[in-house]
Amino acid sequence: MRFPDPVVTAMQYCATVALLVGMTLGVTACAGSRQQESYAGPHGHIVGAILMRGGPNNPGQPTLSGEVVAYRIGGTAVARQSVRTGQKFDLVLAPGRYRLGLGHRYPTFRNLGGCTPAVANVRQAATTHQDLSIDCTAP
C-alpha cells in the first residue's frame, strides 16, 4: 500500500488555505465603505477632503468625517465613500461631470451650509483634486 507524500500533502493544504484566505480578504475588501457605479471603460479619480470653512474653532481647516457622495449633474448618486476625520476620499468614477455632497441629500448651497457645491470633471485615467467645503456662513 502506498501512502501520500506528507510534504506534498502539506503543500497542497497550505496552498488551499492561502487561496481561501485570499478570497475571503478580497471579498471583505470589496465589501468596505465604498459603493461605486459599474463602468467597463477607463476610470478617473476624484480625491479630496471634507473641510469646515466657517465657525470659531477653525484654525487650520481640519478635515472632517462624513459620507462623500458623487452625483451626476442630473441628480443620480453614483458613488459614495465614508471618510474618517483626518482622511481624504478617493472616488473612482467614469469620465464625466459630478457634483459632490455629504450624506443622502443632493448638494445645494443650502444643504452645504452656504458653500457653493463642488463640481468636478473626471477625465479618463486622471486624478482630479476637489475638496468638499461645509458651513461657509458660520460666524
Q: Whole-prediction pTM value?
A: 0.66
Select the more confidently predicted residue: 25 or 99: 99
The domain total for the chain is: 2
C-alpha grid cell, residue 126? 486622471
Q: Kindly state whether residues 60 and 122 are assigned to the same domain.
A: yes
The verdict on residue 139 lying in a domain is no
Work out the average pLDDT over 17-24.
40
| Domain identity same for 46 and 15 | no
CA gap 10, 132 in Å, rounded: 53
Domain enclosing residue 9, as ranges? 1-32
The pLDDT tens digits of the residues spanning 29-83 come to 333 355 555 566 789 999 999 988 776 655 556 788 999 999 998 889 999 999 9
Indicate whether 18 and 83 sit together in one domain. Answer: no
Tell me, yes or no, whether 117 and 95 share the same domain.
yes
Interval 88-124: pLDDT, tens: 999 999 999 999 998 888 888 888 888 888 999 999 9
Q: How far is CA 87 from CA 17, 27, 70, 133, in A?
A: 34, 23, 17, 14
Residue-level pLDDT at 87: 94
